[in-house]
Amino acid sequence: MKFSKSFFVALLSVSVLVSCTNDDDKVVDSGDYNEGVLVLNEGGSGQGSVSYISNDLNNFTQDAYTSVNGSDLLGKYVQSIFFDGDNAYIIAGGSNKITVVNRNTFKIVAKIETGLVNPRYGVVKDGKAYVTNANTYSYANLATGNTDDYVAVINLTTNLVESKIELNATANRIVLENGKLYITEPYVNDKVLVVNPTTKTLEAPINVGSDADTMEAKDGVLYVLRSPYGVSSEIVKVKLSDNSLSKITFPAELQDAKNLDIEQNKIYYTVGTSVYGMNISETTASKTAILTYNSNSDYGKMYGFAVKNNHFFIADGGDFTANSKAYIYSLAGVLEKEFTVGVGPNGFYFNN
């Protein structure tokens, strides 16, 4: 799950097939899950699931994996998905495994169950997957950082972890750009880690400031959203040719910004239950909301967010015990569809 209060509680301490809230929506046949959106549901304290929404928003399956694979389970705290060729790799951080499925049929292909400890996010390069592992992440060590995190290097032919890249740092999100891996260190740490996957070595980190999380690369620039508690959020722009920095500091009323996404030369970000946008060339963050939705969740407001195909995709975490909601809005901020998905929906993945 995300590094949030609910994640810390989990460290310290069902899904049923339904139709969406629109009565005329159909349940999709379990043979084909391409040309659509996968909604990842982390599952609270139980098993995670994946919901499917077709690109035209008319077909929906609430639990695609179980619909195809019967009683087999994805595992606890399903964290993220990455793709390679015909396969989707579904990371379950609470069960230390990755389930490999055919991305079109959702039939199970393999499971990777050794060499992983609290796996988080993954990318693929040249037949290898690189997956961040939080390892023995501890809430007690939050103030000083956790230094035993690593990147698991997985051979995608054998589906085995063949080596580890020790980071001596806390690791979370990972981006592949220009042949290098960029990894955020959440909370107190102030760096983006840089890994050369060819040599499996760390290069000089990039000092972006503390509380960096969501990031995206576009046209040779790494955009990193950081949201320190009690002060203004920032987008740090890293020119990757020389690692030089520039910043967009948000107005004071937009503290705790989250969920940066870039689509069609616009930067989108969220604060609370609102979505904001600005042109990628602008130097001042917009404080005019495009849309605001209603949420009763204590810790799961805007728990998942993405922009794609001229739509905003919003997932509300709910109470992390019962099935929650996914909302699809137009870029003008008009609600187009609402779906009841699984427990703790935390992200959207586009299976095109």
Report d(CA 289, CA 329) in Å as an integer.
13
Q: Write the CA distances from 146 to 136, 142, 163, integer angstroms.
A: 8, 7, 20
For the stretch 296-339, pLDDT in tens is 999 999 999 999 999 999 999 999 999 999 999 999 999 999 99
Q: Write the CA distances from 298 to 6, 55, 228, 231, 316, integer angstroms.
A: 10, 30, 19, 21, 10
Q: Is the pLDDT of residue 17 over 80?
A: no
Provide the whole-model pTM. 0.90
Read off the pLDDT of each residue in 233-257 and give the average, rounded to a whole number.
95
Percent of the chain with pLDDT over 70: 89
- Give counts: helices (H), strands (E), the chain: 2, 29
Number of other CB atoms surrounding residue 22 within 10 Å: 13
DSSP H helical segments within the chain, as ranges? 5-12, 64-69
What is the model's pLDDT at position 139?
56
At residue 79, what are phi and psi to the nearest 5 degrees? -100, -50
For the stretch 159-201, pLDDT in tens is 999 999 999 998 999 999 999 999 998 777 889 999 999 999 9
CATH architecture of 5-351: 7 Propeller (2.130)
Q: End-to-end distance of the chain based on CA atoms, in angstroms?
A: 25
Would strands 26-27 and 59-61 be described as parallel, antiparallel, or unpaired? parallel
In sequence order, which residues have a C-beta less than 8 Å from that of residue 95 and are 6 or more positions away? 74, 75, 76, 77
- Check: CB of residue 83 under 8 Å from CB of residue 122: no
In sequence order, which residues have a C-beta less than 8 Å from that of residue 292 and are 6 or more positions away? 272, 273, 274, 275
Select from 89, 99, 14, 29 the least CA-distant residue to 61.
Answer: 29
Band of residue 143 on the pLDDT scale cut at 50, 70, 90: low
Mean pLDDT of the chain: 90
Cα 59 to the chain's mean position, in Å?
23
Select from 49, 12, 14, 28 the least CA-distant residue to 139.
Answer: 12
In sequence order, which residues have a C-beta less than 8 Å from that of residue 276 and are 6 or more positions away? 254, 268, 269, 270, 285, 286, 287, 288, 289, 290
Two structure tokens written together for 213: 């999380």
At residue 271, what are phi and psi to the nearest 5 degrees? -140, 120
Least confident of 3-17, 233-247, 250-264: 3-17
